[in-house]
C-alpha cells in the first residue's frame, strides 16, 4: 500500500496537519493566499453579485435572513493551490452592502509520522 493511500485511512501512520482561516471582504481586489493553501470556499453574504476568479456568486434573495451562493474548490490529496484569488463586485449603488466570506484551508508545516 502506498503512503498516499495510507493518508486516506483513519488509522494512517503518515498525515498532514491542516488549519483554516475565515475572512470577509467588502472591496474588490486580489486576496492574499495563506501559505500552504490547498482549498478555499466562498459565500456571498452581501446583497450584490460578486465574482471570485470570474465565477459568479449570486446574493441571497433575502440577505438579512439567508446566505447567498457558495462554492468550494480543492485540489487532490496533498496538492497546493498556486493560482490567484481575485474578488470583484458588481458596481454597487447607494444602500447596498457587498460582502463575501472566504475560507482558506491550508497545511501547517508539520507532517505527522506515527511510525517512529
> Which tens digits make up the pLDDT trace of 13-63?
667 788 999 999 999 999 999 999 999 999 999 999 999 999 999 998 887
Give the residue extent of every domain in the chain: 16-111
Q: What is the pLDDT of residue 95?
A: 63
Which residue, among 42, 104, 99, has the nearest Cα to 69 in the 3D structure? Answer: 42
Asked if residue 108 lies in contact with residue 19, where contact means CB atoms within 8 angstroms, the answer is yes
Asked if residue 101 lies in contact with residue 114, where contact means CB atoms within 8 angstroms, the answer is no
Say how far apart CA 40 and CA 30 lie, in whole Å: 14
Distance of CA 107 to the CA centre of its chain: 13
Confidence of residue 65 (pLDDT cuts 50, 70, 90): confident
pLDDT averaged over the chain? 83
Give the global pTM.
0.79
Cell 498556486, residue located: 82
CATH code linked to domain 16-111:
2.60.120
Q: What is the pLDDT of residue 85?
A: 95
Q: What is the pLDDT of residue 7?
A: 47
Is the torsion defined by CA of 82, 39, 77, 112 positive or negative? positive
**What share of the chain in percent tops pLDDT 90?**
53
Amino acid at each position: 500500500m502506498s503512503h498516499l493511500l495510507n493518508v486516506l485511512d483513519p488509522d494512517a501512520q503518515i498525515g498532514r496537519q491542516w488549519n483554516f482561516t475565515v475572512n470577509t471582504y467588502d472591496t474588490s481586489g486580489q486576496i492574499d493566499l495563506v501559505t500552504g493553501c490547498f482549498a478555499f470556499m466562498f459565500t456571498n453574504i452581501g446583497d450584490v453579485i460578486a465574482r471570485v476568479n470570474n465565477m459568479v456568486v449570486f446574493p441571497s434573495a433575502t440577505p438579512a435572513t439567508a446566505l447567498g451562493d457558495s462554492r468550494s474548490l480543492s485540489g487532490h490529496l496533498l496538492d497546493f493551490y498556486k493560482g490567484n484569488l481575485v474578488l470583484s463586485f458588481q458596481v454597487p449603488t447607494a444602500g447596498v452592502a457587498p460582502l463575501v466570506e472566504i475560507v482558506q484551508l491550508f497545511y501547517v508545516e508539520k507532517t505527522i509520522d506515527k511510525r517512529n
